[in-house]
Amino acid sequence: MTVPVVFKAAKQVIAREALIFDWMDLWSMNSRTMGASSFLSVPGGFTQSLIWKRRERQLPAKARFNTVAGYGDLTAIGRNAKAEWLPTPTHTFSSRGHERGPIQRVGFLGNFEYEPNEMSLRKFFRDFGHLLSENRLEIVVAGFGSERVRTWGVPATVLGSLDNLDSFYESIDAVIVPIDHGGGIKVKAVEALARGLTVFGTDHVRSGFSPDFGQWIRNIEELFQAEPIDAAIARKELGHSRLVSRFSQGAFTSSVDEILGRW
C-alpha cells in the first residue's frame, strides 16, 4: 500500500497485483482549494490541480485496488478502477450524547501549523464573529499553535496546546469545523461525532462522509438561527453502534484485512 506522492514511481517497480493506492486526499482538490485562498495563488493552484487531475484519471487503474479517506473522492476514483471508502478512524467514543440544553459553548480543535486550519478559522470569524455575542455563544479554540489566535482580536477563549482531549470535549456543547480547504475526511469532525457532539461544518466537510453520516454535519449558519439548537435532540438519532461500526480502529482494521484478503 502506498500514498499519492510516490504512486507514479511505485507502479514502475511493483506489479499491479501487489499494489494498492491509498488516496488520503485527492491532491487536485487540495491544489484547487488552497490556491483559491488568495488572488495571487489562484494560477499556481489551478495549474497544479490540472496536473493532479490527469494523474487521478490515469493512476487508479495501475493498481490492484484503491482506498480513499474522503467519501466524495470515490466519484473520481471509482470511474477508473476498483475503490473503497476507508475513513480515518478514531479511538475514543461516547455511548451517549452530551445531555445539555441549548448550545452555548462551541469548540474548534486543530493544529495551527497546518495552514488550512488557520485560514478556515479566520474566515469563520470574518463571516460570523459579529454574531457570537448576539447569540451568547462562546468559541473555545485549542490545539498546537492556537495561542496565536489571541492576537487576532476576535471573541475567542484560547486554551493553547492540550494534554488531555477528554476535558476539552467534555467542556463544550458542540464543535465547529469551518474547513473549505484540503481534501479527504476531516478527522476533527469524526472525533466530535464519536464523542457525542453536534458538528457544524461546511459542504466541503460534509462531502468527506457517506450520505448516511454526512447528513449529521449541520450548516454553520444553524448556530445563529432564532431558536437555539438543543444539543441532545440534535444528536440523539445517530447511534453509538453505527459510529463504532464505521469509524473505530477495529472497523478500520477489519476493512483493511477484508481488502487484503480478496486476493
Domain chopping of the chain, boundaries: 4-86, 105-247
Confidence (pLDDT) at 180: 87
Confidence (pLDDT) at 98: 54
CB atoms under 10 Å from CB of 68, counted, come to 28
CB under 8 Å, gap of 24 or more: what pairs does 208-212 form? 208/69, 208/70, 208/71, 208/72, 208/87, 208/184, 209/71, 209/87, 209/185, 210/71, 210/85
Instruction: Name which CATH class applies to 105-247.
Output: alpha beta
Confidence (pLDDT) at 77: 80
Confidence (pLDDT) at 113: 92
Task: Judge residue 260's burial from the number of C-beta atoms within 10 Å of its C-beta, 0-12 exposed, 13-18 middle, 19 or more buried.
Answer: exposed
CA dist 153 and 141 (Å) reads: 13
CA dist 43 and 59 (Å) reads: 24
Confidence (pLDDT) at 110: 95
CA dist 139 and 108 (Å) reads: 7
Confidence (pLDDT) at 232: 53
Which residues, at least 6 apart from 141, have a Cβ–Cβ distance to it below 8 Å?
107, 108, 109, 121, 149, 156, 157, 158, 159
Could you say which residues of the chain have pLDDT below 70? 1-3, 32-40, 78-80, 95-101, 226-237, 263
- The owner of cell 461546511 is 202
